[in-house]
Amino acid sequence: MKIAILSRKTRLYSTRRLVEAAKERGHRVYVLDPLRCYMNITSHRPGIHYRGEDLRGFDAVIPRIGASITFYGTAVLRQFEMMGVYPLNESVAISRARDKLRALQLLSRKGIGLPVTGFASKPDDIQDLIEMVGGAPLVIKLLQGTQGTGVVLAETRKAAESVLESFLGLKESVLVQEYIREAAGADIRCFIIGGKVVASMKRQAREGEFRSNLHRGGTASGIRITPEERSAAVRAAKTMGLNVAGVDILRSNHGALVMEVNSSPGLEGIEKASGKDLATMIIQFIEENASQGRIRTRGQG
């Protein structure tokens, strides 16, 4: 097969591993910077050009689109879908997962366990908002934050009021969530491929930090998940419409709580923690599904 990987950098671990796995299985693979792609939006014959070349003949596309380029990256992916190219994750599904508020609303509608979450746009609503999520301590998240940026733990009510007044005063959109103290700075990343949890790891925040992101000094180790956690992760990925996803779960006193669904989960930490070759599993999934033409939306979303 001829496979395109939409990624800004070929040297990134996840991109490099996918290239290696695809080549080992005999495929031709091309890494394309989505920001260098430009589109011919024409009836009956949509096209994509890249550095002067007309991109035709691809069988599948693997989106590794960073959060900062979601709008343009999903537009490029949608164009591939319109051309009949099989996407590992569809543009509509990625857009759902990247919109944190929309994602939580969709998960809530399906009855999937979540931290108690509030959302507001006016500083006048701060007092009731804090009460709604159970008071301090609480977690405040910018809607546009990634990898732990734009996430603040407010340990007192006064601190919560101050942070919220600052963010809302700057017209920023924020989520306010209950702080799951019993998680003790740890979460579980479940890696989903084709509706199954194929690997999982525990991420532990470094001392004095509540964010467990590996980019922030967190550590990763293999973990055995419970049937409840497995079910929550699979249902969350299915709700978003993602074939491949990283679902982050907190262990709380009232069960497994889905914190986030990542549409472009990194491979490095979880491959090392689990000892599994996830890149090859992803390529095998594409082999099994691309030839069937299983594109649900075909760029219509």
Q: Can you give the CATH number for the domain in which 158 is found?
A: 3.30.1490.20
Residue 242 domain-assigned? yes
Residue 298 pLDDT: 47
Rounded to 10 deg, the angle between the 91-98 and 70-82 helix axes is 160
Tokens of 264: 């472009």
Query: Same domain, yes or no, for 175 and 189?
Result: no
pLDDT at 261: 96
Mean pLDDT of the chain: 89
Instruction: Kindly report, residue by residue over 23-76, the tens digit of the pLDDT.
Output: 999 999 999 999 999 999 887 788 999 999 999 999 999 999 998 899 999 999
User: Could you tell me which of 130, 123, 206, 200 has the C-alpha nearest to residue 166?
Assistant: 123
Residues of the chain with pLDDT under 70: 144-149, 208-217, 292-301
Q: Nearest CA to 126 among 153, 155, 166, 178? A: 166
Distance CA 200, CA 141 (A): 25
Count of domains observed in the chain: 3
Domain check: are 280 and 193 in the same one?
Answer: yes
Domain region containing 274: 182-284
Structure tokens at 94: 């990625």
The neighbouring-strand residues paired with 147 are: none
CA distance 183 to 277: 28
**Which helix (H) or strand (E) element contains residue 87?**
strand 86-87
CATH number of domain containing 16: 3.40.50.20
* Cβ neighbours around 122 below 10 Å, total: 8
Claim to verify: residue 216 and residue 175 sit in the same structural domain: no
Q: Report yes or no on whether pTM surpasses 0.75.
A: yes
- Determine the number of helices (DSSP H) and then strands (DSSP E) in the chain: 9, 16
Question: Which pair of structure tokens corresponds to residue 203?
Answer: 């991420």
Give the helix/strand (H/E) hosting 247.
strand 244-252
Do 10 and 87 belong to one domain? Answer: yes
Question: Using one digit for the tens of pLDDT, what is the confidence trace for 95-128?
Answer: 999 998 999 999 999 999 999 999 887 777 788 8
**What's the rounded Cα separation, in Å, for the pair 145 and 150?**
5
Q: How far is CA 250 from CA 148, 182, 228, 274, in A?
A: 15, 9, 12, 19
Q: What is the spatial distance between Cα 131 and Cα 113, in angstroms, rounded to a whole number? A: 20
Q: Do 198 and 169 belong together in one domain?
A: no
Has residue 289 been placed in a domain? no
178: helix, strand or coil: strand
Q: How far apart are CA 197 and CA 245, in angstroms?
A: 9
> Does residue 264 sit within a domain?
yes
- Same domain, yes or no, for 203 and 275? yes
Give start and end residues of each alpha helix (H) in the chain: 13-24, 70-82, 91-98, 100-109, 126-132, 157-169, 227-240, 268-274, 278-290
Q: In this structure, what DSSP letter does residue 206 have? A: P
Distance CA 151, CA 233 (A): 22
Would you give the DSSP letter of residue 43?
Answer: T
- Do the strands 47-50 and 37-40 form a parallel or antiparallel pair, or are they unpaired? antiparallel
If asked whether residues 163 and 192 sit together in one domain, one would say: no
Of the residues 159, 179, 199, which one is the last residue of a structural domain?
179
Residues 266 and 248 in one domain: yes
